[in-house]
Structure 1
Amino acid sequence: MSKHRVLVVDDEANMRRVLEIMLSRRGYRTLSAEDGRQALAMVQEHPVDLVISDLRMPGMNGIELLRELRKQGNDLPLIIITAQGTIESAVEAMRLGACDYLLRPFDNEALDLAIGRVFAAHEMQQQNQFLRGELDRNWDGLVGGSPAMQRVRQQIAQVAPTRASVLLTGETGTGKEVVARAIHRASPRCESLFVPINCAAIPADILESELFGHEKGAFTGALKDRVGKFELAQGGTVFLDEITEMPIALQSKLLRVLQEGVIERLGGNSTIELDLRVIAATNRVPRQAVRDSLMREDLYYRLNVFNIELPPLRDRLEDLPELVRHFLGALHRGPNSHPGVTTQALEYLRQYRWPGNIRELGNMVERASILSGGGALDLHHFPLDEAPPEPLASPADSAALPESLDLDAAVQDLEIRLINEALTQSGGNKTRAAQLLRISERSIWYKLKKYRLGAAAD
């Protein structure tokens, strides 16, 4: 059954009945009125999505009904049907905002097409209004008014007009790509492309070709020239996500792009000048990544011209209600299309540590929305049947400090314990262990060799 309700307006009872039957068979809910005045009263009393009205009726005809609706500021879509149409009446109806004008007798397909066009256009209009509102309110997806997010917005406003490279840091799921896009949209480069590249998702032997492109015959399988992502982003912005997962050898070529503004395609011998901005991101601590030989020190300094550190969700819990509403609006195609979330559920969510940050919240809201069946999200719609959320720890609950304050030794000890635990939980599966630790396979193999753990120590 369609959720759309259609009001049929006609002074002939038989015609009203025929239209009601046609519409009901197509899944629409129907109301009916004998003339324009009765139709106006019904619109005031009932939610109506579409009016199908006869043109000539005693009392108030279809044109007068349409004119009165518009005078009241009501933009309800209306289709005129008539057996006595004239060019003048058609022009007047369309001038007043009628969606269509059908002459009797008409076939069922013509009416179906007219109704389909109305609802398709109305849905598109609603989505556009919502998206414009979200852009105005949330600045390209940045949601929340906490002090932490105000600082991020201020930093975006400061760096966007410049040519400076930007390094985005913060835990996984904190919205680094959203911030990168916001920088691009607020910059003079906004009319050119924003090209995102996930350095961890592309195999190392393919990444170089993806970034720099290649000439025909550069390697086996290179059957034609290919433009790389850097060339594609000419004049715009390249976003290098998880930059510390890029092979060290390739990082040296990236450094040349940043310093000289030129690239060479694989297999080519000519340089290509570039005008683009590079924004990079990592969920690691950059200086530690340098110490672990995951990032070139000179590349770190070249990228870190302007650093924006994104706050974890647990440090901006005042934004949580607005974030939940944002995700619900995105799921249901409108800011007011869902009943929302209960106070008890919000309080529950505030007690969670959110290791996956905004991304985890979005997934949890989507799951709860499915379980709620369109109703308000309540406590039991969140995953209480799974491992309970870890509450935010107070200082008194914190583990005792080790006897030694050697930070490197403590970090190494914690890494070894976590890796061993992940290997235990995954039954020795390195890929699964890396997923549990939220690191790449390349990183876990590096750490296994570094600490001589498991089979990697052989």
Structure 2
Amino acid sequence: MTQTGSILIVDDNLDILIATKLCLKQHYQNIITTDNPFDIASIISDNNIDVVLLDMNFNQDAISGQEGFYWLKKIIAQDPTIVVILMTAYGDIQLAVDAIKAGAADFIAKPWQNDQLLASITAAFAHAKDKQQLNKLTRQTHSLNQALSGQTFKFLGQSEVMQQVFKTISKAAQTDANILITGESGTGKELAAHAIHQASMRCGQAFISLDMGSVSANLFESELFGHKKGAFTDAKQDHLGRFELAQDGTLFLDELANLPLNQQASLLAALQNRQITPVGGNKPISVDIRLICASNENLYQAVNLGQFRQDLLYRINTVEIRLPPLRERLEDIPLLTNYYLNHYNQKYKRSLKISPSIIQALCQYSWPGNVRELAHAIERAVILTEGDTLDVNSVLGSHGQTSEYTAEQTSHNQYDTFNLEVLEERAIRAALKHHKGVVSHAAKALGLTRGAIYRRLEKYGL
């Protein structure tokens, strides 16, 4: 029975190439031969080579083995997970020692016994597997440290509408069904995804997220599927994509509506086949992930407009969970306010308290940025408040909202006051004014992503 794996044999003697291939092909599936060492780099780039059987001398009458050492270093530099076995007709102990020191796994003197060659190749494949696994774990650890560096808050709520959300999450989490979370920006869609993961059977594995609105079109496949070293100009080393990082765990794709149609097809193929192929690679990788997606846009409307694939929408929303905006769950504001106040008191080493009147004032504000805006507002208030009690002006005033909000409530009719679009536009105008037109700062103050605030700037002609 032949074993999986690829062997490259490099020797300028055609008889050696033929004899070695005949010996090994009974035991290994993929054997590539070349009599020109200058072909090594391209062969390695085009194939997943595990073991290289490399001659040490290519020029006639050469016996020093220096050519073999030269190409050995080239191979290791190109792919350090490849295991190299050196061979020569002029073997001695010192040459063998030097070969091992230079990075070779073994040294074979010609002519060899077939049993000896097979034993060396078998050991080399075991070594290659260990090196590949170690390399993957090292890259995975590095990538995970980057992917998991964000701050995560608790997903909280005591209102009736949130209790229904929690009940749905509890039911859906026990399955591997794909989940679509919908809701306005800042309602806590990523927190909900974390809650689903923690309640699932995959809770012991990684939770990996990717904001599709922040991924440029030319890096989409690299971010999701990974890439091989040299796949493009800046690909200086292999890179694990989010699918591989989330292996056996949960993959969360936020702001899915930002994904262009051609890239939607790539995502759909990966989900259907449960396989990915890294950019620059040619070997599919099987993946097993639990997918959770989120969008603050109406994907059904996007399907009708031809902006989103219907088959992809069916694939991702076996269960759909809608998160209500904060204005629909005002009874949760005291709970959320105290939670964030305690969090930021600890972070900034403060001991601020909050009065019932301030909480009442917070309950009267519309919070167009939802829970994310509330969290940012409390953080700024903790930083700016000078006394022992949280100052409402430090909370709402940091948005430029306190005086303007009060004045506008008395000067506008009832319909304007409670019109969500009017309130949203005012909040954005006030944030831009406060941050002197710096859009990124205004977006952060409102609890919006850059993509979300630019869409609203266009919508309101700001």
Question: What TM-score comes out, normalization by structure 1 length?
Answer: 0.56
- 1:398 corresponding residue in structure 2: 415
271 and 376 in structure 1: CA distance in 2 versus 1, 3 angstrom threshold: same
- 2:394 corresponding residue in structure 1: 381
Any conservation in 2 of the 1:164–1:277 contact (CA below 8 Å)? yes
Partner Cα separation in structure 1 for residue 452 and residue 162 of structure 2: 33
How many pairs does the alignment contain?
293
- 1:148 corresponding residue in structure 2: 161
Partner Cα separation in structure 2 for residue 433 and residue 333 of structure 1: 24
Partner Cα separation in structure 2 for residue 443 and residue 320 of structure 1: 24
What amino acid sits opposite 2:362 in the alignment? L
Any conservation in 1 of the 2:178–2:291 contact (CA below 8 Å)? yes
1:280 aligns with 2:293: yes
Partner Cα separation in structure 1 for residue 338 and residue 439 of structure 2: 35
- 1:17 corresponding residue in structure 2: none
Partner Cα separation in structure 2 for residue 235 and residue 437 of structure 1: 31
Partner Cα separation in structure 2 for residue 432 and residue 140 of structure 1: 22
1:372 aligns with 2:385: yes
- 2:240 corresponding residue in structure 1: 227
Partner Cα separation in structure 1 for residue 441 and residue 261 of structure 2: 24
Partner Cα separation in structure 2 for residue 204 and residue 162 of structure 1: 32
In the alignment, structure 2 segments of 5+ residues that lack a partner are: 1-151
Identity rate of aligned residues, in percent? 39
> How much has 1:179 moved relative to structure 2?
0.6
- 1:259 corresponding residue in structure 2: 272
205 and 323 in structure 1: CA distance in 2 versus 1, 3 angstrom threshold: same
Q: CA RMSD in A?
A: 4.0
What amino acid sits opposite 1:398 in the alignment? Y
Equivalence map 1:65-214=2 (5 Å)? 141-214=154-227
Equivalence map 1:262-341=2 (5 Å)? 262-333=275-346, 338-341=351-354
Any conservation in 1 of the 2:226–2:242 contact (CA below 8 Å)? yes
Any conservation in 2 of the 1:169–1:282 contact (CA below 8 Å)? yes
- 2:249 corresponding residue in structure 1: 236
Partner Cα separation in structure 1 for residue 232 and residue 326 of structure 2: 45
Any conservation in 2 of the 1:338–1:374 contact (CA below 8 Å)? no
Runs of 4 or more above 4 Å deviation:
389-393, 429-448
Partner Cα separation in structure 1 for residue 240 and residue 290 of structure 2: 18
Q: Secondary structure at the match of 2:213?
A: coil
> How much has 1:214 moved relative to structure 2?
1.3
Partner Cα separation in structure 2 for residue 288 and residue 383 of structure 1: 34
> How much has 1:226 moved relative to structure 2?
2.0
Partner Cα separation in structure 2 for residue 345 and residue 273 of structure 1: 54
What amino acid sits opposite 2:401 in the alignment? A
Partner Cα separation in structure 2 for residue 181 and residue 441 of structure 1: 22
Partner Cα separation in structure 2 for residue 326 and residue 246 of structure 1: 34
- 1:355 corresponding residue in structure 2: 368
> How much has 1:180 moved relative to structure 2?
0.4
Q: Secondary structure at the match of 2:162?
A: helix
Partner Cα separation in structure 1 for residue 244 and residue 251 of structure 2: 10
> How much has 1:441 moved relative to structure 2?
5.4
Any conservation in 2 of the 1:344–1:379 contact (CA below 8 Å)? no
147 and 350 in structure 1: CA distance in 2 versus 1, 3 angstrom threshold: same
Partner Cα separation in structure 2 for residue 315 and residue 173 of structure 1: 13
Partner Cα separation in structure 2 for residue 358 and residue 437 of structure 1: 8
Q: Deviations over 1:37-63 (max 9, x none)?
A: xxxxxxxxxxxxxxxxxxxxxxxxxxx
In the alignment, structure 1 segments of 5+ residues that lack a partner are: 1-138, 401-413
> How much has 1:191 moved relative to structure 2?
0.8
Partner Cα separation in structure 1 for residue 208 and residue 172 of structure 2: 19
